[in-house]
């Protein structure tokens, strides 16, 4: 058996720590769950998305740009086809 003992904290200590930080228990619980679910991508920062979400946003922007280009080319093709008649 290892000589290291697990630290335990009283209910009062936990409540006081939460109050001192000004963080609600529900927020602490959510942060703990986010970290447990995905430690590498948890807490990406203000205004930033997790890596997979950021990639999805980038791909959607690219799709919008390519779709707009395609629509412009279709209109140009129709215009020049009419001009040839």
**0.85 exceeded by pTM:** no
Is 31:44 a contact under the CB 8 Å cutoff?
no
Q: Does residue 50 carry a pLDDT above 70?
A: no
Residue 45 three-state SS: coil
Residue 21 three-state SS: helix
- In the chain, where the domains are located: 9-43, 45-85
Q: Whole-number mean pLDDT of the chain?
A: 84
Q: Please report the pLDDT score of residue 29 as a whole number.
A: 87
Q: What is the pLDDT of residues 13-46, one digit of tens each?
A: 888 888 888 888 888 888 889 889 888 777 777 6
Decide which of 51 and 34 is more confident. Answer: 34
Which DSSP symbol is given to 42? S
Is 54:45 a contact under the CB 8 Å cutoff?
no
Residue 61 three-state SS: helix
Distance, CA of 17 to CA of 11 (rounded, Å): 10
């Amino acid at each position: 058996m290892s000589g290291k003992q697990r630290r335990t904290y009283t209910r009062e200590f936990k409540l006081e720590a939460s109050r001192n930080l000004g963080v609600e228990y529900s927020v602490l619980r959510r942060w703990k769950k986010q970290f447990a679910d995905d430690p590498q991508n948890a807490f990406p920062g203000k205004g930033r998305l997790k890596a997979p979400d950021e990639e999805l946003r980038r791909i959607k922007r690219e799709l919008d740009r390519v779709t707009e280009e395609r629509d412009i080319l279709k209109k140009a093709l129709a215009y020049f086809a009419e001009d040839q008649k």
